[in-house]
Amino acid sequence: MSDFSNTTIGITGASGQLGRAVIDHLQRRGARHIVGITRDPKRLSQIQGIEVRAGDFANPAGLDSAFQGIDRLLVISTDAVGIPGGRHAGHAAAIDAAERAGVQHVVYTSITSPYPSDSALVANDHFWTERRLFDFKGDWTTLRDNIYMDMLLHDAPRALASGQWFHAAGNGLKAFVTRDDVAATAAGVLLTLAGKTVLDVGGYPVAMTDVVAAFAAATGKPIQSVAISTEQAIAGMIGAGLPAALATAFAAFDSDTARGLYAVTSDAVARFSGRPPTTVAEFLAGQQLSAAA
């Protein structure tokens, strides 16, 4: 592997949870020149040892100056799901600006098994962003991150309270990965990897029955895994107030799991973070689950 610790490394979305974690891992591993790029520079004012610049994917002209002098750039995907043209168009604008600024290597946070779709909006946005990335004039890496283990905590309080965890994943497997494992892997890629590479970033594939059992063991509370249809999952989310397009997009995580799209494994976490992926049980050991219920 190469050593890029003395190059200038830029992080978009630097004030978000993933961006801050990547910066932390970069600093721990000896990166000397880090540029944090964010729409609101004040949110990074307390982080020492980095340069902070303003940058917004919705303002492509401003990205030219934000990316100036950066050698290696992490483009963190935005959360603008369901906004027509708002997500992958913004990502493409960032990649365009990186090309204009002479960035040598762009690393992008994608998703496992992206594909074009009118309904699975998350997979669709990443698919089209990758198509632009593959044409980038310099080196590139797409980090196909599996589903964040951290997202399980959003459903946990309801499941712990009711004793039932509803899902539409069938017997499919997900190689859940923690946000911190993704951050550590991204930092390692930024510091060591050259060339053009597709990396699957995930942990150990598990079924939802195993996940539910792990939550039950961690909390001492009985929880039943309840399989439902994709249509029922969508209807439940709409009933809870989610717009239909977003409900359909989020339900695709489970239906794609049932199709086997998230059962992808690799050694990327261990190879670039320097540690094995976090298991579901290890992750839950650090959470205040009983209080959440």
pTM: 0.95
pLDDT at 257: 97
Domains with residue ranges and CATH for the chain: 8-146+177-202+263-275 (3.40.50.720)
**Using an 8 Å Cβ cutoff, are 70 and 35 in contact?**
yes
pLDDT at 287: 84
pLDDT at 87: 87
Mean pLDDT by 10 residues, the chain (293 residues): 95 97 98 97 94 94 96 94 76 97 98 95 95 98 97 92 95 98 98 98 97 94 96 95 93 96 97 97 83 41
pLDDT at 286: 81
pLDDT at 85: 59
pLDDT at 290: 53
pLDDT at 84: 62
